[in-house]
Structure 1
Amino acid sequence: MTSPKQLPDAKHPAQALAAVLTLRQTADHLERQAVAAALQQGWSWSQIAEALGVSKQAAHRRLSDVQAAAPVRAGGKRP
């Protein structure tokens, strides 16, 4: 993981803003992977929302499409 000491200083806006974009994309990707894993393990949207520090509605609204990424079981059926 990149430590804050390795991030560009805000005095260099082009580099700092590029880092912000990369961090957001990385965080979004990790969040979606973690939500998919949580759903696969049987977590509720309430549990996911609590872990993310948002309301159940906010979590579901933003991430409900992740549910479709659940693995397909034998026979072609989703869990």
Structure 2
Amino acid sequence: MEAPQYVAARVQQALAEDGRTNELGIRVDVRGDQLFLRGQVSEAGQRDRLGLVAHEAAPELHLHNEITIVGDVFDQGEDEHLD
């Protein structure tokens, strides 16, 4: 059985290198047969793609996608004006 830190590194590398995700800011934790993804993305579609890529990289683990979706920084009630 592969050590948890190696499984986490393999998943982290897949998230960074897969063309569907190219994501560096996601924390990957492996505990037993559980795989946890944590971090923030700007849209639900990206969250779903990250879960898919992580599952493909470690299909033997039970995935817990705890990534949260945050709005764009300009969606906080203020309009951006470019001149």
Alignment TM-score, normalising by the size of structure 2: 0.30
More helix by percentage? 1
More strand by percentage? 2
**Which is bigger in relative contact order (C-alpha 8 A, separation at least 6)?**
2
From the CA coordinates, give the structure whose radius of gyration is larger: 1
